[in-house]
Amino acid sequence: MSQIESIWGKVQLKSSPEKFFGFFRNHMGDLVHMFPDHFQSFHFVEGQNFDDGSVVHWKYHLGIPEAVKIKMKNRDEARTIIYEVVEGDALKHYKVFRAKLETVSGGLNKVGGSFAKWTIEYEKAHENVPSPETYMELALKVSKGLDAYLYRN
């Protein structure tokens, strides 16, 4: 019997957590232009903004071209967004696939400063499916690149 598993990773932020979260909350489609080696296209399927419940279609590249439809769940007060795959290539390998982005503010009294934390929750379609490390690697790589961009601008 399968069960929900999870992996997580985090990236220290030089940019402000509010700015980093704001990018994913309001401009996530710009990743296609910023990281064309990884993202081929993005468009809304339901909704016209990055509002809670909006559904977006992504084409991306993780060794092979893939596409998914993702439903977004925004928790603005907690600077958290949950991306749940509702259709597409990821569901060939996973019965459940959710990625959660949290941005956490560090202060003078907090060790480690500000960071972005990605958590991927998944349920394998069968026991031979590996954990989604390639998805996590992509999320962390893009987060580092985006943070460097936001810090400079």
Task: Record the pTM.
Answer: 0.91
Q: How far apart are CA 68 and CA 124, in angstroms?
A: 17
Give me the residue spans of the domains in the chain.
5-34+74-152
Residue with tokens 């996590």: 136
CATH class of 5-34+74-152: alpha beta
Q: If 0-12 CB within 10 Å is exposed, 13-18 middle and 19+ buried, where does residue 30 land?
A: middle
Instruction: Identify whether the C-beta of residue 25 lies closer than 8 Å to the C-beta of residue 50.
Output: yes
75 strand-pairing partners: 80
pLDDT in tens, the chain (153 residues): 469 999 999 999 999 999 999 999 999 999 999 999 999 999 999 987 888 899 999 999 998 999 999 999 999 899 999 999 999 999 999 999 999 999 998 765 454 579 999 999 999 999 899 999 999 999 999 999 999 999 998
Q: How far apart are CA 32 and CA 42, in angstroms?
A: 7
- Residue type, position 123, single letter: E
